[in-house]
Structure 1
Amino acid sequence: MAILFVLLVLMLTETVTSQSSNHINNTNTLILEFCGSIAPKSALNFNKNRNSTLNDIRSQLLNQNKLYATAQDLSGGDSVFAAAQCRNYLTVDQCVACFDAGFSVLVSCSVGNGAYVLFYNCFIRYEDFNDFYNNPSVSQDGTGAPYSSCGNQPSSITNYNQVVDGFLLQISDATPKTSNLYVASTRQFTSENATVYGIAQCLETTNKSSCKTCMDRANDKLNDCLPNTEGWFFDMGCFARYSETPFFNDNQTIDITSILKDTFELKGAVNFSYKDLQLATNNFSEENILGKGGFGEVFKAILNDQSVVAVKKLQVQHARAKEEFENEVKLISNVHHRNLLRLLGWSIDGSDLLLVLEYMPNGSLDRYEDFNDFYNNPSVSQDGTGAPFSSCGNQSSSITDYNQHVDDFLSQIRDATPKTSNWYVASTRQFTSENATVYAMAQCLETTNKTSCKTCMDRAYDKLNDCLPNTEGRFFDMGCFARYSETPFFNDNQTIDITSILKGNSSKVGKIAGAVGGAVLFLFVILFWFLYRLRKKSKKAEQDNSELKGAVNFSYKDLQLATNNFSEENILGKGGFGEVFKAILNDQSVVAVKKLQVQHARAKEEFENEVKLISNVHHRNLLRLLGWSIDGSDLLLVLEYMPNGSLDRFLWGKAWKLFEKRIHIKFIDESLNLNEHEREHVMKIIEIALLCTQSPVSNRPTMSEVVLMLQEGQSVGQRQLTRPTFVNNQDRRIHIGSSMNSIGARNVYTKRKENEATQQLHSKKTEEK
């Protein structure tokens, strides 16, 4: 009987162990395979090196108890570099079994110089270069990655989306913070007696920044799978998966709570209980909403001690939400000012991110300020004023070129008003051929200042410009009023000469009374001095109206002819404020013409600023200003023509190439004689600038991140920099994230090979001669 009992216990133990180990799927189902299309120099030699490299990796996995290994074989000029990675929940034998399954697939790829296979349990890749170890996204041939797939069975669990969303976010945040860039965890639903399993893993040879970027993409894609019960994501640098079906053992999880907690602790700020805040806000009810902040809603909350606070609730909408939350917490906790709300605490629960702030009763801060500000700042208000307002007539004008002429007229009104002593202008514009007149006036509140008046006039101009070609329009804001109409609303003798105002106030020279005797000579000296000062001021006024020494005032018609009426074929590109055209002048010289169309109130001012900047600053990396032209709303700059691409290819292209070699210190002018600390600071600024030019735009940092990097001395060395869009890719490997597909990549590679072959043939013919 005892023997029977022992046998029964052993059988039960074996059954339990078997069931536990069965959580790992040992079938090694193939998910993805890719075989490159670029042929090696010698297929026979390359395949030999590939097999040798893969056998070396297998030996490392089997004999050195590894789950990640790399190897290479450089024999015969056909280099092969390979890497293999197994999920950390596998045993060595299971890892080798998965590798063998991948090996059998890879050996069938006999034409390409690169390939990879992906299973749920492992990943194998080989190439003829080793850059992919540290930068997995680089490839000579399009790999098609990233990939993602979702199950087709929705979950029946209550609040499934919210809970699993928070779970996946924690996994993606924790993975780059572990030593081996791997996380496996579970999230239980006690009431439903269910568990969700999740893992994430980055290539071990990549860096923390690249892993984080890949995890952000994984989180976004897996979030799209919800409420389905499973989903997986793969990119060349990472893999992530979740499922309600177990695929690793429960004792193989990693405590991610401690990982996340260690990276997010605030001094002086209390970590509130989520349930306490939920209760204090009456479950975040509509009645408790105070307003909407930068990233979410703000609720009034009454804590257990009856103190009143404001709770800002942020719902996670994307992978970077938690990072933005942390930035906001750090900002508020580190900056103290009498006009900033005090941070009292914070709370994180799944996808809900909460800030607990000081509560300000009876509205916002401006109610406590002395409220006579509207004299000088008319736009300030304790209650919504609804301003600005604008209205347009419903009758269109029949006058030829009405829009262009009235637009120019209104821009003159806008510019002149802030330059008068009483902030008021009334003027007319006549259309002789049509026997018609347009009346216009503008006025700012007299107690305001010139800057406020100018700002209000800019808004007025924009709104009235929208009324054209209607015969009348009105604009009102708390600091100004403007109107135009074909119907007279003031007398013709009540206009103000705005031409003199726009040209600038001429200085007056006092008349010196005659004198007798030896005083005459003294008076002549004084008069000469005054005339000299007058001439000097007059020259300065002329410079203020964009008259440039050395810059020619070109005829608009000549430039129109030189650019073939600004045709599409002549477009070189688009600059900061408009299009740039190639132009051939009458003397057959080639120039670049930058055309700025007036789109808003400040366009002419921006044009003048750009003219002044280029005319006054001389540098070998700045295009030379040859001339300019103004015709109505068209503002033109005539610039030196630079063939074979734009300036950024010469400037930032050089910076990028130096950075790739980690010698961007050479980009700094040696004549500056910087010390070591200054050199490091300038190099960091170059790196930040390159970070801001990455493609795609989503890889670029936000302005708040740039400010933090500059203020706190953070380095961008840990962040992966990708090549800017303007760097020539003709002789570079293609990044998967670029807009070029695999065909485009092959074309670039083929073109490079053709150029090399042509050069070799040319050299051979030269030798024969």
Structure 2
Amino acid sequence: MIIWWVGVMLLQVVKSDPQTWSLGDGCSNEVVPNDAPNFLTDRDATFRQLRANLSDKFATADTKFSPTSSVYAMAQCRNYLSPADCLACFDAAVRVITTNCSTLGGRAVFDGCFLRYESYNFYQRTGDNWLRCDDVSSSAAGFSEEKTRLLSDLKVATPRMKEYYAASQRNTIVYAVAQCARTVTQLGCQGCLQTAYNSLQDCRDATGGRVTDVACFMRYSNQSFFPGNQTTPLKLPGKGIDEKAVIGGTVGGSLLFVIVATTLMWFKFSRQLKNALIANILGATQLQLPNRYSYTDLKEATNNFSEDNKIGKGAFGAVYKATLRNDTVVAVKKLDMKHSRAKEDFESEVRLISNVHHRNLNRLLGCCTKGSDLLLVYEFMENKSLDRFLYGQNRGLLSWKQRVDIIFGMAKGIAFLHEDYHTTIIHRDIKPGNILLNNHFQAKIADFGLARLLPENQTHASTNFAGTLGYTAPEYAIGGHLSEKVDIYSFGIVMLEIISGRRSTDVTPDSTYEYLLKEAWKLYEKDMHQNLVDVALNLNEYQVEEVKKMVEIAMLCVQSTPSSRPTMSRVIFMLSGDGSVGVQRAVRTPSFSYEVGVHIDNDSLHSTQESASESDATTLLTRGVTLPDPEK
């Protein structure tokens, strides 16, 4: 009897596998503030609560221990793990985090599970994609093709599955699983797995690969890594129909069809009207439908769009902080229909960024239409916009490192729009008010109402001006010449504002009364770059050589000739270099001439069909005016 019991126990040990091979771990850069001395103790208590609720292999725990100490945590095991292996994997993750992290956030990701905690609600977020490929290549015939087909099926099927989980195998040569955090929306799961699928293509013929994101996980291998009875029938469009059910339901189905068809006729016309706007938004593109929100829910979440909930106001409407019924905090942009551009602004934003996901772009979660009311729902940014920290109520609070990180984030977001998306997107209104900051001061580009697509076979487009004077390039504001170099110029102006803490349209406080760009050129040409640095910064925060490099890059971006400005990928390369390596000398063009094709009338400022000198253009472009697009 004892021998039999020992044999059973050994068999269980052999079969037990919590899959704790690490895929990555990390800690937040945010240190625990002095007013929350018990945060880490509260975090560990939250982990214990999380473990107690992990019986379903997924759990969240959010606790507010004091006004200054809130802990949000999430844990998820792969569904094929046994309950005991799930807890063992979770315990391993806890050990990693508690050993390595003494900050406001951290995560540990294993093959079998993941654990994350933060001081804010992150449950519906995606981002931070990590890829691991095996070192060995497969020589099995057809492996690469079967792998691609299986992963493609999983990315489609998983968001349709219960608990956002699916496991499958193909011809016993490839095995794969896909899983999303249960707190994300179906659209969020789709987007996350699409990104994971794209990343896994880089593994090529590797025998295995894994992609993990804060909201999803996808893995494949040429060896089975889950029990054979854990495979999941995939719910794919047009697949998986049971033959018996079809035969048995033919007669009843025909009768039901007649009834349903008759009923639907009553609703067809009203449904067509209701969906007309969204159909128009999507046009003939292949973009997926955005998440649809209830107007009643958004009205309730914003306290009837009260002034107390208003967090900003743009050219075409206001933005409100909203707390949804599941306690998710979002930002709701309500477009003002008194403006003729409002409908076009709405359509442009939804069409362009419904499926555009990047860590440095403010994510559109969904939309809502009710009569003439047009609403866009975005992820909420705790620190609002950059302009508040440069020359607004929080002026001087940004450190030099934070400013450099914000510049990097902006550059990465713009580079994605220009070079990494399937078509070139030109934002047209890059400025501090459209750069949002989350609680970690990560930059996210927002407000795509003025954005335009640039066809692949064109280097530029001709269009009337729309944007903010003071940030826009001269060839566009004066001549209507639109290319991605327009965004590069705006980025350079914003760089100068971040470095100096000054608004581009403000003049120097001394007797010279010079605008920021003109003063920057003078200091640059005299090799006095450091004189441009914000006086609010401590001298010990930065090095003169680093300042010099940043100013040089900014001046390259604001050169008058578009072809002289670097691409954004080149900007990122220069930002990443040491000192001034790779940074060429910017040249201020003495003069230029454009045929002016736009009439601008603001504060008695007129521009007609005539040549413009550089000094005229400087005066024109340094007025801080936001103008609607005359095309509309």
* TM-score category (smaller protein): 0.3 to 0.5
For the pair shown, the structure with the greater C-alpha radius of gyration is 1
Please report the TM-score for the alignment, with normalisation by the length of structure 1: 0.36
